[in-house]
Structure 1
Amino acid sequence: MGPDTTASPTWTRAQVRRTSTATIALLMAVWVIDYVDRTMVAIALPFIGEEFDLSKTEQGWLITTFALAYLVFQVPGGMLADRFGAKRLLLVSLLLWSVFTALTGAMWGFVALVVVRALFGVAQALFPGASFKALAERTTPDRRATGAGWMLASNSLGAGLAPLVVAPVLLAFGWRDTFWIVAGAGALIGMVLWALLPRPLPAELSEPGEPGDATPGGAGSTPGIGTVLRSSSVWKFAALFCSANMLVYGLITWVPSYLLEERGIPLLNAGIAAAIPSLVMTVTTFVGGWLFDRYFYYRARVLVIPVLLVAAAMLVLMLRAGSAVEFTIYQTLAMGVAGLSTMSVLGMPVRALPRAVIGSGMGVVNVGGQVAGVLAPVLMGALVDRFSYTAAFGFLIGTTVLSAVIAIWVPQRPERFELAEGKKTA
């Protein structure tokens, strides 16, 4: 057993617990509004496409342009968090993306929309690295994957709430006013975050590893951004996150349009149907984080590989569905099962990266996840234009199976997480 990491001479167990709980709750709230802002454009796509006479490929580019900017600025965002601190960058990111959300509702054509969605992507890209750094500074390592599971479960919660919130507002006020309303909510949450985010824990409580151990956070380990970028382990997890994230990005982008156009489901009903899988994934993502911390810390692929293969099988059944209800059931099962793997994919780097570079390191890992956000919307849009929705959703089956294959390749234990410069792992 290692030393007690839940208290220090100046911090009681209760203070540590309150700091962790408040931090996770606040970060969850911001991640929810992040994903509402991000996914609401998918709900508005049919109306934007109709107003500006856009093809499906052009509509896909509105998602992909955001995702490309979001991808490119992940690592710079993480570096800024490590350099200037998580709290300031969280506020700057939230306020900036709220401005660009509001500007989306004021655009007059396709090119203008593409530009503002790219700027929106830059603003949101500052957030993930800062949020992981804020989490690392305010939680103990033994509970960090569970905390990250809560935090990232709010991604699915935001994606699930977005159709329920956005669809009625969109029908009542139009797509332009909807973007302005959500932007105001984001700015308000930013003010709350700034006022209530607790101060960080002492380094001896929040730094991973123990003195003398072989983990990246052990004594004498002082990696920098160059070391992070040269780490094969970090890039392996980025590749896994990329492939696994195709399923989520592809479904949340194109299912609302599919239900509206192919199944003839009214927008409000389509919004509810699109919300159910994401809400279920909210629960399973948290459960996956808890399972990782409790049972699968040293053998994550034992959970990840079967889960991803089952998710792929559910996608096959989804494609064969004879009704919209059956389609939604299998989509829910696919996303729900896939949610169990999320924190096994991200849990190891979250626990193994030292606090000094966790913003940069998770920025690199998140680059992989956002490559999916760049590729899935536009590739699937092109497949719909050229072939059918069946071909587009079939693409997701292949990428989900590929994720299970990549999971064989990633390290499972902290001591095999190559990070320290010049260090060779067994």
Structure 2
Amino acid sequence: MNGYNQKKQTEQRWKVRYTVLLLLWVCWMLSFLDRMVITIALPFIGKDFNIGAAAQGLIISAFFIGYAIFQIPGGILADKFGFRRVMSFAIGWWSLFTMLTGVIFSFPLMLACRFLFGLGEAPLPGSSYKGIATYFPSKERGTATSIQSTVNTLGPAVATIAAAAIISSFGWRPVFICIGIPGLFIGFLIWFIIKDNPSDHPKITKAELEELKEDEEFGQGQQKQNISFKEVLRKPILWQTTLIWFFFDITFWGFTSWLPSYLINVRGFSLMSTGIFSALPYLIGTVTMVFGGYLSDRFQGNRKWIFIPNVLIGAVVLYLMFQAPTNTMVITYQCIAAFFMFMAQGSFWGLVVDSLPSKIMATSSSVVNCGGSIAGFMSPFIMGLLIEASGGNYRTAFIFIAIALIISAAIALTVRSKSNNNKRNTAETIEA
């Protein structure tokens, strides 16, 4: 018997769902590299095109217009045709328009290119969260989503360092061509390795399928799977999480988009120093992101209590950052802010994936992420306007994103998590 258990543990050491998560992670990493290098290139694009801060912010916002418009349709397609098919096509599409960004020579064409790039990335969030909901049992979804979300931190970190190195040596255009190529290869891997239905995967074990089946029996499937999207639209949790993510992403995209320019234009950092110091908060956030997801799984019924205190501390530290008298303190504060903000983010998506029905996870999570896409469109542009209106002063812009974090925490207070209660009630019903 002991030999059998030892053999079973060996067979389960690396599970199919880990391979799925790895490919999803790589896909997300490429998506963030493709969208983040423009924040480093932005000052140079502004000089080449002779445009001001507001117009530069509009270049970033153009991506989010396309990203927001096709977010929900992309999720619907993933639910209907399978996340594997939709994701494979999407990554090929956005990789092409990433490369085209490097050969654009007019401002209107740049806006159009970034808009079409955004359309290509739009199906990714819903498709990937559906992949996690399909392959991972409820008890591991917070950790899985937080691991996937480490690209939100590693992506900007890698992008800023790589982009700064390439731009300083070759100019801003080659960087977009270089990072667009790997996406085509990953698209083929996703198509050939992942299956939309876990039972169709040739390498999945009976033990893994039993875990997923057990999850369904205790409320994650049979009760929730029959809920239609129209019914989900009437549930408060969908709109609460959408608003939370909207205000959180006001801060995230405002911070991410304008931090390099702030360090260069206000604090006097060189290009390479900006690349290094812009990367620091994201490297720290990579660790705290996973820890936040882990804590979220330990507090399944109360995931919001991981999120709320962390975003509030992050808001206070952001406020302190722009008032710091020295560059050393600026770097210190931005790292502390990232520590708490990304721990909060790691816990948030565990709440989303564990609260919405798996059958329509792509569509439902796309609604939530669409809130973040709208924020991504608004925040860089609004901050650009605030900076211009202040004569190059970033004070009002940083206050704007700190307040957004506080609002997201206030909305999170209204969330009533019922995942554990649902499982207990279902178990009691079965026993009865």
TM-score (norm 2): 0.88
Residue 409 of structure 2 corresponds to 404
Q: How far apart, in 2, do the equivalents of 1:118 and 1:150 lie?
A: 28
Residue 385 of structure 2 corresponds to 382
Distance 1:382 1:35, change over 3 A: same
- Hey, which of these two has a bigger chunk of helix by percent? 2
Residue 83 of structure 2 corresponds to 86
Residue 421 of structure 1 corresponds to none
Give, as a single letter, the amino acid of the residue that structure 1 aligns with 2:295: L
Distance 1:225 1:83, change over 3 A: same
Residue 430 of structure 2 corresponds to none
1:340 corresponds to 2:346: no
Residue 275 of structure 1 corresponds to 279
Shift of 1:199: 6.4
Q: Does the CA-based 8 Å contact 2:146-2:347 persist in structure 1?
A: no
Residue 235 of structure 1 corresponds to 239
Q: Does the CA-based 8 Å contact 1:299-1:412 persist in structure 2?
A: yes
Q: Does the CA-based 8 Å contact 1:238-1:369 persist in structure 2?
A: yes
Q: How far apart, in 1, do the equivalents of 2:364 and 2:416 lie?
A: 15
Shift of 1:219: 3.5
Q: Does the CA-based 8 Å contact 2:225-2:359 persist in structure 1?
A: no
CA offsets 1:5-31 (integer angstroms, 9 cap, x no match): xxxxxx999459521111111111111
Q: How far apart, in 2, do the equivalents of 1:411 and 1:333 lie?
A: 29
2:260 is paired with a residue whose SS is helix
Q: Does the CA-based 8 Å contact 1:43-1:167 persist in structure 2?
A: yes
- Cα RMSD (Å): 2.1
Residue 159 of structure 1 corresponds to 156
Comparing 352-361 and 373-382, the one that deviates more: 352-361
CA offsets 1:285-319 (integer angstroms, 9 cap, x no match): 1110000101x211123222211111111112101
Shift of 1:100: 0.5
1:340 is paired with a residue whose SS is helix
Q: Does the CA-based 8 Å contact 1:19-1:139 persist in structure 2?
A: no
Distance 1:117 1:199, change over 3 A: closer
Residue 351 of structure 1 corresponds to 354
Distance 1:81 1:264, change over 3 A: same
Distance 1:416 1:120, change over 3 A: farther
Q: How far apart, in 2, do the equivalents of 1:83 and 1:109 lie?
A: 38
Distance 1:382 1:93, change over 3 A: same
Shift of 1:225: 2.5
1:14-413 equivalences in 2 (<5 Å): 14=11, 17-197=14-194, 200-202=197-199, 205-206=211-212, 209-211=215-217, 215=219, 217-219=221-223, 221-294=225-298, 296-387=299-390, 388-413=393-418
Q: Does the CA-based 8 Å contact 2:288-2:346 persist in structure 1?
A: no
Gaps of 5+ in 2: 1-7, 200-208, 423-432
Comparing 201-210 and 315-324, the one that deviates more: 201-210
Comparing 36-45 and 185-194, the one that deviates more: 185-194
Comparing 53-62 and 68-77, the one that deviates more: 68-77
Q: Does the CA-based 8 Å contact 2:23-2:190 persist in structure 1?
A: yes
Q: How far apart, in 2, do the equivalents of 1:118 and 1:239 lie?
A: 23
Distance 1:207 1:330, change over 3 A: farther
Comparing 117-126 and 245-254, the one that deviates more: 245-254
Shift of 1:323: 2.2
Give, as a single letter, the amino acid of the residue that structure 1 aligns with 2:399: G
Q: How many residue pairs align between the two structures?
A: 404
Q: Where do 4+ consecutive residues of structure 1 move more than 6 Å? A: none
2:122 is paired with a residue whose SS is helix
CA offsets 1:112-151 (integer angstroms, 9 cap, x no match): 1111100000000011111111222222221111111100
Residue 7 of structure 1 corresponds to none
Shift of 1:325: 2.4
Q: How far apart, in 2, do the equivalents of 1:51 and 1:401 lie?
A: 38
Q: How far apart, in 2, do the equivalents of 1:217 and 1:140 lie?
A: 11
Distance 1:207 1:274, change over 3 A: farther
Q: Does the CA-based 8 Å contact 1:90-1:130 persist in structure 2?
A: yes
Q: Does the CA-based 8 Å contact 1:95-1:190 persist in structure 2?
A: yes
Comparing 403-412 and 285-294, the one that deviates more: 403-412
- Identity, % of aligned pairs? 32
Gaps of 5+ in 1: 1-10, 418-426
CA offsets 1:86-110 (integer angstroms, 9 cap, x no match): 1111111111000010111111211
Q: Does the CA-based 8 Å contact 1:242-1:371 persist in structure 2?
A: yes
1:341 is paired with a residue whose SS is helix
Comparing 238-247 and 316-325, the one that deviates more: 316-325
Q: How far apart, in 1, do the equivalents of 2:240 and 2:196 lie?
A: 33
Distance 1:207 1:318, change over 3 A: farther
Shift of 1:322: 1.6
Q: Does the CA-based 8 Å contact 1:140-1:205 persist in structure 2?
A: yes
Give, as a single letter, the amino acid of the residue that structure 2 aligns with 1:249: W
Shift of 1:332: 1.2
Distance 1:220 1:409, change over 3 A: closer
Q: Does the CA-based 8 Å contact 2:33-2:158 persist in structure 1?
A: yes
Q: How far apart, in 2, do the equivalents of 1:198 and 1:44 lie?
A: 37
